[in-house]
Amino acid sequence: MLKKTLGLAVIATVAIAGQAAARDQIRIVGSSTVFPFATTVAETFGNKGNFKTPVVESTGSGGGLKLFCAGVGDAHPDITNASRRIKKSEVTKCAKAGITEITEVKVGFDGIVLANAKTTAPVKLTKKQIFMALAKQVPINGVMVENPYKTWSDVDPSLPNTKIEVLGPPPTSGTRDAFVELAMEGGAKKFPTLKALRKSDKKAFKAIAHTIREDGAYIEAGENDNLIVQKLVTNPKAIGVFGFSFLDQNSDRIQGGVIGGVKPTFENISKGDYGISRSLYFYVKNAHVGTVPGIKEFIAEFTSEDAFGEFGYLTDKGLIPLSESERNLIREKATSLQNLKMM
C-alpha cells in the first residue's frame, strides 16, 4: 500500500512538473512599500475580467531586483516594484542576464513620518536633531564620540525633557534605508566637520551617517508598521518611524511630527516640501511584453488617472501622486515602453 502511494506520488510530481509551461499570468515581485499599491492595481485589473489577476510578491526592493535580473523567461518575474531607483550595478547585472530593455515607471511619492500618540504634544524636530538623537557616533566640538544624549532636552534645550525612545524599522526594510538616507544623512550634513568628511571620504561619511545607535534609544520594532502604531498609542512618550499610509489610516490616534517646520500632509509631500519623502517605482521587463499576456494593459491601468491620478483609487490607499505634468510624461513613456536610461 505504502509503496503504491509513494510510487503514485513520484509519478504525479513528475507529471505535474513537466506540465508547467507557458504562463498566462503576470508575476510581480519587489518592495513591500509599493506592495499595497501594486496589489490594488492588480485586483482592479483582474476584476475587469480580460486577464488573470497578477500575482504580487512582497520581497523587498533589493530582493525583487535580484529576482528580476536573474533572466528572461517564464520562471522569472515580469515586473518588480522598488521604493528606490534601480542601481547602476543592478542594471549591469540585468544586462549580463540578457535583460537589456527595461521600462522604468515612477508611480508616486511616499513620505516617512515621525509620529507620536495624539494624547501628547506633536513632535517638532529638525533633521540635525534627528541625527543627533539617533546616530551611533556624533561630533562634539569636532571630535566623534559615542552618542551621549539620553533625553531630547540633551539634544536641544528647547525640546522636552523626555527619554529618547524611537520605534522604527530594522535594517532589512526599505523604509529604514530611506529614513537613514534622507533624515540622518541630511542631518549629518549640517555639521561642518562631517560635511568636510563627505567631500574627502564619502564612505567614512556614510558609515557615520547611516549607523543608528544600538544602546536602546532606537528600538527595532520589526517590519510591521501596525505594531508600531499600537505601541505608540500605549506609550505616549515614544516616537515611531513609518510610512505615510499608516499615519493616514490612523490619524485619529497618532499625529505626524513637524520636520524642519513642515507638517507631513498629503499636499506638502506631493509638493516636495516635506523633507523625508521618496519616489516609488516599478520596472518592466520589455522582453516579456507580448509573451505574457496583459503586461501593456497592466501598465496602462497603473498609470491611468483612475489609479495614480490626483483622485485615483491609489490615493485612498495612501499613495501621494505626482504632479499632473509629470504624470502625463510618465504615462507616455511607460505605455510606449521607453527603455531606461541611467544618468
Minimum distance, C-beta of residue 27 to other proteins, in the bound complex (Å): 7
Minimum distance, C-beta of residue 276 to other proteins, in the bound complex (Å): 18
Q: Which stretch binds other proteins (CB under 8 A): 51-59, 102-110, 138-146, 321-329?
A: 51-59
Q: In terms of CB distance, is 137 or 249 closer to other proteins?
A: 249
Compute how many residues bind other proteins; rule: CB under 8 A. 49
Task: Kindly tell me which residue out of 47, 141, 161, 325 binds other proteins, with binding defined by CB under 8 A.
Answer: 47
For residue 299, count other CB atoms closer than 10 A to its CB. Answer: 22
Q: Residue 76 — left, alpha, or beta (φ > 0 → left; ψ -120 to 50 → alpha)?
A: beta
The C-alpha atoms of residue 223 and residue 244 are separated, in whole angstroms, by 15
**Taking the CA atoms of the chain, what radius of gyration do you get in angstroms?**
23
- 57 sits near other proteins (criterion: CB under 8 A): yes
DSSP type of residue 151: B
Minimum distance, C-beta of residue 293 to other proteins, in the bound complex (Å): 15
For residue 305, count other CB atoms closer than 10 A to its CB. Answer: 14
**CB-based contact 183:168 (threshold 8 Å):** no
Q: Which stretch binds other proteins (CB under 8 A): 81-89, 279-287, 310-318, 320-328?
A: 310-318
Minimum distance, C-beta of residue 129 to other proteins, in the bound complex (Å): 26
Minimum distance, C-beta of residue 211 to other proteins, in the bound complex (Å): 26
Crossing angle, helix 202-210 and helix 192-200, to 10 degrees? Answer: 130
Looking only at the bridges linking them, the beta strands covering 239-243 and 166-168 are parallel
Q: In terms of CB distance, is 240 or 243 closer to other proteins?
A: 243
Give the phi and the psi of residue 334 in degrees, each rounded to 5: -70, -45
Could you give the string, one character per residue 216-235, with x where binding to other proteins holds by CB under 8 A and - elsewhere? -------xxxx---------
Task: Kindly tell me which residue out of 22, 199, 311, 325 binds other proteins, with binding defined by CB under 8 A.
Answer: 311
| β-strand partners of 109 | 279, 320
Minimum distance, C-beta of residue 311 to other proteins, in the bound complex (Å): 7
Restricted to residues 2-21, the positions that interact with other proteins (CB under 8 A) are: 2-3, 5-6, 8-9, 13, 16-17, 19-20
**106: helix, strand or coil:** strand
Restricted to residues 249-268, the positions that interact with other proteins (CB under 8 A) are: 249-252
Of 306, 311, 303, the C-alpha closest to 328 is 303
The C-alpha atoms of residue 170 and residue 12 are separated, in whole angstroms, by 42
Dihedral of alpha carbons 208, 268, 327, 34, sign: positive
Restricted to residues 59-98, the positions that interact with other proteins (CB under 8 A) are: 59, 75
SS (H, E, C) 295-314: HHHHHHHHCCHHHHCCCCHH
- 300 sits near other proteins (criterion: CB under 8 A): no
Work out the widest C-alpha separation in the chain, in whole angstroms: 80
Minimum distance, C-beta of residue 222 to other proteins, in the bound complex (Å): 10
Minimum distance, C-beta of residue 221 to other proteins, in the bound complex (Å): 13
Q: Site residues (CB under 8 A) for other proteins?
A: 2-3, 5-6, 8-9, 13, 16-17, 19-20, 25, 27, 29, 32, 35-36, 38-40, 42-43, 46-47, 49, 52-53, 55-59, 75, 118, 223-226, 243, 245-246, 248-252, 311, 317-318
